[in-house]
């Protein structure tokens, strides 16, 4: 495979076609999404100028995934908040914060899967058990709160959410904690 420093090179032509120089085949955005999921490292270059356009192609993949599946990963409130940071002095902090949060989330997800595997082993239940949504939602809430707190440290004049919203979020978090306790008790009893 043609690689640049361990990366597969994908050329994007003016007709919007993507060409994998390693396999000498044309690929689609869906193929690139699968490569990402498999952990394959690639760089996308404009075929004419040689410019690295990987960022815009990955963003396009996210846009298509959000549009076609109906299962959005990026809530509207998050997108709105993200847009507010463009052109703001905090713009430099956001990418590293998001990258760190995703890395922590991935590590915690792996730990949870390991705990489920230890608890249930190779039983049919263990093979079919999905990662509980409450745990994911709890982690997302914690990351969102941490992000908001970090942004408020740098932007003290941001208005906090309304009191009713904070109360509802606190209630949701308490319910999630209770569900996690119940789930942990079930795991412990098994």
Profile the chain (190 residues) by mean pLDDT over runs of 10 residues: 67 93 94 93 95 94 83 84 86 86 81 73 54 59 69 57 66 74 74
Alpha carbons 113 and 132: distance in angstroms, whole number:
10
Q: What is the DSSP string of the chain?
A: --EETTEEEEEE-TTS-EEETTTTEEE-HHHHHHHHHTT--EEEEETTT--B-HHHHHHHHHHHHHHHHS--SS-HHHHHHHHHTTTSGGGGHHHHHHHHHHHHHHHHHHHHHHHHHHHHTTSHHHHHPPPPHHHHHHHHHHHHHHHHHHHHHH-TTSPPPPHHHHHHHHHHHHHHHHHHHHHHHHHHH-
Single pTM value for the model: 0.57
26 and 96 inside one domain? no
Q: Are residues 41 and 132 in the same domain?
A: no
pLDDT score at 46: 95
Are residue 17 and residue 97 in the same domain, yes or no? no
Q: How many CB atoms lie within 10 A of CB 101?
A: 18
Domain boundary among 34, 69, 104: 69
Indicate whether 106 and 178 sit together in one domain.
yes
| Structural domains counted in the chain | 2
Same domain, 117 and 42: no
Residues 14 and 102 both lie in one domain:
no
Question: Is the separation of the CB atoms in 98 and 104 below 8 Å?
Answer: no
Note whether 60 and 147 are same-domain residues.
no
Same domain flag for 120 and 156: yes
| Shared-domain flag, residues 40 and 86 | no
Please check whether residues 48 and 15 belong to one and the same domain: yes
Tokens standing for residue 102: 């995703």
- Nearest-angstrom CA–CA distance, 53 and 56: 6
| Host domain of residue 136 | 76-189
Same domain, 64 and 80: no
The residue among 12, 46, 69 that closes a domain is 69
Considering the domain architecture, whether residues 39 and 91 belong to the same structural domain is answered as: no
pLDDT in tens, 112-150: 777 767 776 655 555 555 455 556 666 666 776 776 666
51, 69, 87 - which closes a domain? 69
């Amino acid at each position: 495979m043609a690689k640049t420093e361990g990366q597969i090179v994908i050329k994007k032509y003016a007709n919007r076609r993507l060409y994998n120089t390693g396999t000498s085949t044309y690929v689609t955005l869906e193929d690139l999404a699968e490569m990402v999921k498999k952990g394959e490292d690639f760089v996308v270059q404009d075929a004419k100028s040689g410019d690295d356009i990987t960022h815009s192609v990955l963003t396009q993949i996210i846009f298509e995934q959000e549009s076609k599946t109906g299962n959005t990963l990026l809530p509207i409130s998050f997108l709105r908040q993200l847009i507010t940071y463009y052109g703001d002095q905090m713009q430099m902090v956001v990418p590293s914060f998001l990258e760190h949060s995703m890395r922590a989330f991935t590590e915690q997800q792996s730990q949870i899967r390991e705990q489920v595997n230890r608890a249930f082993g190779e039983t049919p239940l263990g093979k079919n058990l999905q990662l509980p949504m409450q745990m994911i939602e709890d982690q997302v809430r914690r990351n969102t709160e941490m992000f908001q707190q970090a942004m408020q440290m740098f932007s003290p004049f941001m208005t906090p959410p309304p009191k009713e919203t904070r109360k509802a979020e606190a209630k949701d978090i308490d319910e999630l904690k209770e569900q996690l306790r119940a789930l942990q008790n079930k795991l412990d009893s098994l």
